Amino acid sequence: MTEKTPLLHYRLLSGTHDSEHAPGPAGLTVKKAQATSQRRASEQPRKLSTFFGVVIPTLLSMFSVVVFLRIGFVVGYAGLYQSIVMFLVAYLIISMTVLSVCAISTNGALDAGGAYYMISRALGPEFGGSIGIMFFFANVCGCALYVLGLVEAIIATFGIDEAGTGMGNTCHVLPVGYWWSLLYATGILMLCLLVCLVGAHIYAKATFLIFLIVMVVLATIFVSFFAVGPRAVSLPGMSANRSKPLSANFTGLKLETLIANLWADYTVDYTTGSVMTFAKVFAVMFNGCTGIMAGSNMSGDLINPSYSIPRGTLTAVVFTFVTYNLLALLVSCSCDRLLLQRDYSFMRDINIWSPIVTTGIYASTLSAAMSNLIGASRILFAIAKDNLFGGVLSPARRTSRGGNPWVSVLIAWSLVQLVLFSGKLNTIASIVTIFFLLVYAAVDLACLALEWASAPNFRPTFRYFTWHTCALGIVGCLVMIFLINAIYASISVVFMMLLLMLIHHLGPSSSWGYITQALIFHQVRKYLLMLDVRKDHVKFWRPQVLLMVANPRGSTGLITFINDMKKSGLFVLGHVKLGELDAMPSDPVQSHYDSWLTLVDVLNIKAFVNLTLADSVRHGVQHLLFISGLGGMRPNVLVLGFYDDSCPQDKLQDKKFPSCVSPLSPLSPTKESKRCVFHFPTLRGNGVGDKDSAKDLLVEEYVSVIADTVKMLKSVALARHFADFERAEVLSRSGRGQMGLFVDVWPLNLLRPDSCGYVDTCSLYLLQLACVLHMSRAWRQARLRLFLCVEAGCCLREEEEDKLRRMLKELRMTADVFTVPWDTVVALHGQRQAAIGRERHEEERMEKDQEPELAQNFPSNTTLLSDEYLCAVNLLIREHGDPPPAVRFLYLPRPPADTRRYSAYLHQLDLLTRNLGPTLLIHGVTPVITTDL
């Protein structure tokens, strides 16, 4: 047998020499996997180094609008001190995120998909899908921001104001205004769309040239601060407004200018007309830090992603941090506050050669816009390919012959076009910042969750991070998004949570792993160790049920009923498969777990599944009673179906599994995934031949299971007539007036009428289970009916009834008490007393010798009851069940000590419960009720 593990699958796809000679179908699968791997390698070779694949894309993404168009804006309004504080806060946040990115990227082999791939594979489909959508919108809004930045630069160079005069010192031919700006932005976006649809590879090849242009422009800017002398710079848009200054001064490096620019001066932004604040300026400035994922997004093209991403990203972050702070310092020393606040393109006017700055602005912003549009389309394509939203995003999976996801490109382009209607860069800067901060918080959360889960396979080679850095990054991101704009932040978080819940409930299963499972395991283990059985108390008792199921096809009614009765307790579905492991190549029960777990999902119950292999049903039940549960969470009640000759009906015949893929499969769910029926055998009596009609255990073995359970100090319940129990139909009776929902309890040992006690351990156990069922949400409308059997001429009749009512009041139970005369029934039992003799005396002695403390609760004359008496008791129960109850709770006596009387014992239970409808025969062995506070 071939073992399929993720590591083996990875090696097979790597194409080893030995696997080429694998025989049979496995060998064909290996060859196909190798062929697929080689074909993909030939189509998309990994050939980018750290510098070209990580450093350059990251620098180009971070050096775009801010470095050329918003450095003066930040210093002009915030002042040098607050500008440095903003850069420190921003880079503290992104540094924590970069450490998390480095840790995740060095924890295993990275595929194409960048940040979305890392988050989804680290946290699972719910978090991955929701954050992926947020990352998609972040790139969409980022593309719009860069397009608007380019439009702003074009208008500053070639625009004319409403009076028809120039806005700067060059040739001005372009009209300005909202609709004109929208037209220019649409044209630029159309150019980006054409490049993405036709020649995205051309852009990829041109990134190095754009990088050289940006570096040359930055060099000239730094030189200009020292080489250019003081000059007056014309302010844009001031020619028509004579009440305001027409120009501002570039003073060169002067101490007076630095002192004047140290402190903040928040005034009205001339492009949007709104008053600036620290949060608004930070939102604009932070867009210069949002490119840290650009290198990670190239993970599919890097020669060694785990090596390149940490080193390249950290290098780019350090370089941009130094550059931004040097530029802020030089701008503060050389430019008037008016120039910084009224002319965001001043770097062009103070440069030694202004056209090169214009070229740098155009190249960097256009490059960043294309990068974001391409990134948004690839993220959407990856989400659609993972099928997280079903058929909603199915069109986005379409690609051209060359593999270009053209539908995703068109969807991203249309959304960017909608964002362009905002009109101004500063208007959408807050939204872009919030989206990116949420993505960064998710990356930190992914790393933090992996660290907290203590997963053995999380051992990144990059060790310069701790859970403290992850938590600091998360807190910093969340604090900043609410400081920037509390309304936008709240809407974004709510939207992300809705996406998370949508994917959790409607998304298909995946083979990525779920971080929630690792965290739950980690915490549950701690709490289980804290759950000390020595501290158990009757006040906090709850039923913890092990339900033995021979075949779920005929047991769905009982399964759903026990799920209601467990009252937040442990519920385990147990099954015994007959056989011996020595005679089998592998454990056969392991392959059946998927069917049972899917049954739990389909029936919408809260249960565990425990299957075992044994040579007999009796030994299998013993195994499950010994091993089921863990620590203080172990079954205390065994529920068995009744042993009779009725043929069960198949309740799952028309139900099917939801479409799914095995968790061990490396493939993702697709629309071609087949729907499979339940893999349970046919029911007894529904097949052909003696084998299908035979039972797996005999009467003696069945009763022995009951006796074994009592010996192990576990309570036991026998469920009869639940084959036709339909939960929805039964619960619908609650609103039918006289035909309401009733639960009947007969707490007397009906096989021992001479023991008239109602307050022994077993009787109180019946009351408690009935009360627990009544406390469940679905059964709260039911009415409990408690039947007290008395003799008609007994003078203590009223006294016994009052005593029972007082006991119910003390136990805080609400029930209707009915007295049932049964003189004629008791008389039938009395006719057999003379025949007991020595046999009864000997049996009582044997039982008292074995368990004297329990002997009083069990009948010693079960073999001496007549069928006439049992039929009379059965008739008595049916006559006092009008309207018919949904379920009856009856007293189950202990099996006789003599194994030769097991058949008679079961025969008596059969006559007692015949035609009663859904009935639970219950025997409790431990106290479960207390009146103490």
The CATH number of residue 780's host domain is 3.40.50
The rounded distance, in Å, linking the Cα atoms of 299 and 307 is 11
Is residue 230 within 8 A of residue 404, CB to CB? The reply is no
Q: What is the pLDDT of residue 36?
A: 46
Residue 556: give its domain's CATH number. Answer: 3.40.50.620
Please give the DSSP secondary-structure letter assigned to residue 51: I
Amino acid in position 336: D
Do 207 and 289 belong to one domain? Answer: yes
Query: Rounded to whole angstroms, what are the CA distances from 459 to 440, 441, 464, 888?
Result: 21, 21, 12, 57
Q: Three-class SS of residue 705?
A: helix
Checking DSSP bridges between strand 919-923 and strand 715-720, what pairing results, if any? antiparallel
Do 335 and 432 belong to one domain? Answer: yes
pLDDT at 47 over 80: no
866 contact partners, CB below 8 Å, separation of at least 6: 828, 829, 831, 832
Do 405 and 361 belong to one domain? Answer: yes
Cis preceding linkage at 883, omega within 30: yes
pLDDT at 24 over 70: no
Instruction: Tell whether 523 is covered by a domain.
Output: no
pLDDT digits (tens, 9 = 90+) for 444-476: 888 888 888 877 778 888 888 888 999 999 999
Counting Cα atoms < 13 Å in the Cβ hemisphere of 637 gives: 29
For 63, the token pair is: 């050096």
CA nearest 886: which of 758, 776, 785? 785
Instruction: Tell whether 518 is covered by a domain.
Output: no
The rounded distance, in Å, linking the Cα atoms of 812 and 699 is 40
CA quadruple 450, 452, 456, 461: dihedral positive or negative?
positive
pLDDT at 805 over 70: yes
The rounded distance, in Å, linking the Cα atoms of 871 and 865 is 11
pLDDT at 674 over 50: no
Q: Three-class SS of residue 132?
A: helix
Full residue range of the structural domain in which residue 558 is found: 540-646+696-716
Higher pLDDT, 754 or 876: 876
Do 733 and 702 belong to one domain? Answer: no
Do 882 and 778 belong to one domain? Answer: yes
CA nearest 770: which of 733, 811, 722, 723? 811
Which of 9-23, 712-726, 855-869 shows the highest mean pLDDT?
712-726
pLDDT at 344 over 80: yes
Instruction: Tell whether 529 is covered by a domain.
Output: no
723 contact partners, CB below 8 Å, separation of at least 6: 554, 557, 646, 648, 649
Instruction: Tell whether 533 is covered by a domain.
Output: no
pLDDT digits (tens, 9 = 90+) for 911-929: 999 999 999 999 999 888 7
pLDDT at 607 over 90: yes
pLDDT at 691 over 60: no
519 contact partners, CB below 8 Å, separation of at least 6: 449, 452, 453
Do 499 and 563 belong to one domain? Answer: no
Do 635 and 581 belong to one domain? Answer: yes
Domain-ending residue, one of 456, 486, 506? 506
SS3 content of the chain, % helix, strand, coil (to 5): 60, 10, 35
Residue 641 forms beta bridges with which residues?
Answer: 719
Do 553 and 626 belong to one domain? Answer: yes
Percent of the chain with pLDDT over 70: 80
The rounded distance, in Å, linking the Cα atoms of 866 and 853 is 28
Domains in the chain: how many in total?
Answer: 3
Q: What is the pLDDT of residue 830?
A: 61
Least confident stretch, 3-17, 32-46, 324-338: 3-17
Percent of the chain with pLDDT over 90: 27
Domain-ending residue, one of 506, 521, 549? 506
Which of 166-180, 575-589, 706-720 shows the highest mean pLDDT?
706-720
Q: Given pLDDT bands bounded at 50, 70 and 90, which one contains residue 42?
A: very low
Do 816 and 868 belong to one domain? Answer: yes
Please give the DSSP secondary-structure letter assigned to residue 123: H
Residue 817 forms beta bridges with which residues?
Answer: 786
Query: Rounded to whole angstroms, what are the CA distances from 869 to 722, 794, 876, 893, 911?
Result: 25, 21, 10, 16, 10
Instruction: Tell whether 38 is covered by a domain.
Output: no
pLDDT digits (tens, 9 = 90+) for 756-803: 556 778 888 888 899 889 888 889 888 899 888 877 665 556 666 677
Instruction: Tell whether 5 is covered by a domain.
Output: no
Do 705 and 734 belong to one domain? Answer: no
Residue 790 forms beta bridges with which residues?
Answer: 821
Residue 273: give its domain's CATH number. Answer: 1.20.1740.10
Do 344 and 406 belong to one domain? Answer: yes
Do 471 and 559 belong to one domain? Answer: no
Taking each helix axis as running N to C, give the angle between helix 200-227 and helix 178-198, from 0 to 180 degrees, rounded to the nearest 10. 130
pLDDT digits (tens, 9 = 90+) for 211-249: 999 999 999 999 999 999 898 888 876 544 556 677 888
Is residue 745 within 8 A of residue 767, CB to CB? The reply is yes
Instruction: Tell whether 527 is covered by a domain.
Output: no
516 contact partners, CB below 8 Å, separation of at least 6: 124, 126
Q: What is the pLDDT of residue 195?
A: 84
Instruction: Tell whether 897 is covered by a domain.
Output: yes
Average pLDDT, the chain: 80
Domain-ending residue, one of 481, 506, 531? 506
